[in-house]
Chains A and B, each alone.
Chain A
Amino acid sequence: METIQKHKIYEEQFLLLAFISIVTFKIVMLPQYLVASASNNSYMVMAFMIAIEIMMLTVVYGIAKNGSILEQDIPKWLKAVLAIVVFVSSVIKCTVRGSEGVAYIATSLYANVSWAFVTLALVLACIYIAQKGGKVLARSAQIFFWIVAFATAFFLIFSNIKLDPLYLMPFKISGDLAIAGDKYLMWFGDFTPLLFVTVTPSKNRGKKRLAIWTALTILCAFLFTVGLMLIFICTFGNAGELIGNAFLNVASLNKIFFMIGSADLPTVLSWLIMYVVKFSLLLFAMIQCAKFFFGDKALVSLICGVIVYCIIVFGIGNLKANYVLATSWLRYLAFFMEFAVTATAYIAMRVCQSKKQKQQNTPSESAENTSVNPADGLQGEI
């Protein structure tokens, strides 16, 4: 019961976590890679994949509304299988995608700080948040959200983007889009961590309000990903294939730069906090799966952190290796696992729910029959 409470989050918090889940890793290196593969029409790949992700997140919401998959009334062996699959998927996502953030901090934010120290700082902080549970994670996201909102407002006021819609032309649906979508699958489909929280309706809030928040979240997810891709293409054209850290390059506050010098801190900060939440969310999924087998101990979380740290520092170590790994066959595995787990968990939940309902109905029906005609029962006994 205590565990359920620890991972209980409100609907708005779920939406916020879903938004961060969708956006965080798609606005750093992915725009550059997509432009290199599918040039000016690459925003279509982003739009298509985001639409799929949002659809899958509605399924995840349907599951999380009934509780965490590990707390639900599904066979224990199935829970174990799902836990193993999510653990593997989260390790892949956590290390491969996590390295992108480490690379950004180590090389762009600071002048070539060692990966080991950056990873250590991130893993320590994120493991701590993840260990605290879904509730703390959601609350942290809610508090941090204001920095993102502030940075966005700051960007709208002080950015001075010269967009050239000519770069978006000609509108062409070609095989390159499918190739790009296939090659960068690793960047899509991050929804399994949200299967471990329990979503509860917000206090004193009607369905209308939830609908508005949901619509806003979907709109913002598209604006921050597809919108950013459109701005990125309209700003850099095909030269985008040379421009890493898309969000920072697009959101540089030119007006301020011409007044007092470079001031990218709000943009950097807003992404960093989204990264911390996202990284913590992936670690949270790992920890929950590991705890399913080894019990609710802090040591389990620590070991998960050590595994992620070792893979990022000793296994990956630089952005090039990370790219090779992210575009290797591992992408199919991670993508398949994300979908398979969500679909399986949903089907299992529905089957178990209907079975339970049948079981509940059967004894009551027999009880009704007994009470209607007690003589039949007596006859039977005789």
Chain B
Amino acid sequence: MKKPKIVDKKWLVIAIIIVVLVVFSLMEEQKNVSARSMVLAMSVDLKDDEYEVGIQLLRTDIKDKQEFITYSTTGANLTEIFEKLSHDTGGTVSLCHTLVVILGKDLLTKDNDKAMRFFIENEELCNNTMIVASKDSPLEALSAKLSNGQGGGYYIGNMLRGIVTDLGVIPITIKDYIKNRYHIGNCVYLPCVSVEKSGDTTYVNVKESLVTNGYKYAILSENATKGLSLTLNKLKGGELSYDFDNTMGRVDIVKSSADIKVQSDEANVKIKAQLNDRAYVPEKIDEKRSVEELQKNVKSYVEECFKACQEQGLDVFYLGQRAYAQGKDFYEKSDFLDNMQLKVVVDITMK
């Protein structure tokens, strides 16, 4: 008599494998997605040698309404903190969908990257999670309730995606952060968030940048931030402005590129940009004059950025790394950055 196919040896083996796996997976304590607290945004800071961590979640159980809830706690150890937060939220805290992490200045300058290493080595965050610095308390920025009903953290996370073109600020992922940290000079630059209140309305502002080497930091103004973005080849769109006879002209950036060459006492930055004047051109100004104004402005942005960082000993243009790549060792001198002269050449063409 012919055996039915199901008892054929091959199927038997497959059936055993399935049974074993299903039985064992049932025995293993696995958290269902609904039993997880999906973090959308997070803030981390140092307060009196303890971490202060805030997480922002979206409540989905209210019909036709989005409610962002922020939980926060403090502790000496991040693992313990997340356990506490899991307890508070009623679900295992999951960071894999976190859009943004807002870091406090103290964490960036006093923690020696312990918290950041925790996130990277444990692969807690997605590689594309954005990192921003906060001018004030990061928890305040995270929990800010905006007029559109969104939570501050969630709003920042979404806003950061198009930030280069709109504001001239370079968005930084956790990948970029750690990569820059390993450069000679250990300098990292991050968009800097500030919260402003006007009556009942709360604004979140991300136009500045914070540069730090893990000990010292400098906050770059909006213009210096644009200078940084242009020099590091990150500004491929957005607008530049100039003043002429008390009126302001605006041009769109079509494309831009930068080249940095470093010698023992001199760094040469050459910025080449193609702009178009469709945005706004004041009357009584010719193209040559507007180009001159723009060249002057861009040069001053770059110089402002370099000077602000040089004063704090921050090698924001990675001159040390560039010297190392050329096989030179003058970057090892302690006064290498102090004696560095910056020469900026801006070449603008109008389209």
Contact = CB atoms under 8 A, between A and B. Distances in A.
Contact of B28 (A117, A236, A242): A117
Given A166-B321, A262-B96, A125 B17 contact: yes
Nearest to A113: B28
Interface stretch (A59-67, A249-257, A286-294, A342-350): A249-257
B117 A117 contact: no
Interface size class of A (residues with CB under 8 A): 20 to 34
Contact of B17 (A108, A128, A244): A128
Contacts of B324: 169-170
Contacts of B24: 117, 120
A121 interface: yes
B307 interface: no
A109 B31 CA distance: 14
Given A113-B30, A128-B17, A166-B322, A262 B181 contact: no
Contacts of B13: 128
A167 B321 CA distance: 9
A209 B128 CA distance: 43
Given A120-B20, A236-B179, A257 B321 contact: no
A239 B178 contact: yes
A238 B326 CA distance: 16
A367 B175 CA distance: 78
A124 B20 contact: yes
A125 B325 CA distance: 48
Contacts of A257: 126, 128
Contacts of B148: none
B123 interface: yes
A143 interface: no
A22 B28 CA distance: 34
A242 B97 contact: no
A77 interface: no
A120 B23 CA distance: 12
Contacts of B123: 107-108, 244-245
A169 B321 CA distance: 10
Interface string B229-272: 00000000000000000000000000000000000000000000
B112 interface: no
Nearest to A252: B127
Contacts of B76: none
B120 interface: yes
A142 interface: no
A202 to B, nearest CB: 27
Nearest to A249: B127
A111 interface: yes
A114 interface: yes
Among the interface residues A108, A166, A245, which one has the most CB atoms of the partner chain B within 10 A? A166
Nearest to A162: B176
B178 A170 contact: no
B317 to A, nearest CB: 12
Contacts of A111: 31, 94
B4 interface: no
Contacts of A133: none
B343 interface: no
Contacts of A261: 97
Contacts of A252: 127-128
A121 B21 contact: yes
Nearest to B99: A261
B179 A235 contact: yes
Contact of A239 (B17, B25, B161, B182): B182
B17 A124 contact: yes
Nearest to B173: A254
A237 interface: yes
A262 B175 contact: no
Contacts of B30: 110, 113
B199 interface: no
Nearest to B94: A111
Among the interface residues B182, B326, B327, which one has the most CB atoms of the partner chain A within 10 A? B182
Contacts of A167: 325
A254 B121 CA distance: 20
Nearest to A131: B13
B269 to A, nearest CB: 15
Nearest to A121: B21
A262 B31 CA distance: 20
6 contacts: A111-B94, A113-B30, A166-B325, A172-B327, A235-B179, A258-B128
Interface of B: 13, 16-17, 20-21, 24-25, 28, 30-31, 94, 96-97, 117, 120-121, 123, 126-128, 161, 175, 178-179, 181-183, 321-322, 324-327
Given A237-B183, A242-B121, 10 more contacts: A107-B123, A114-B28, A125-B17, A128-B17, A169-B324, A169-B327, A170-B324, A170-B326, A236-B178, A249-B127
Interface of A: 107-108, 110-111, 113-114, 117, 120-121, 124-125, 128, 166-167, 169-170, 172, 235-239, 242-245, 249, 252, 254, 257-258, 261-262
Q: Which 7 pairs of residues, A with B, have the shortest CB-CB distance? A: A169-B325, A239-B182, A170-B327, A238-B182, A239-B178, A239-B179, A117-B24
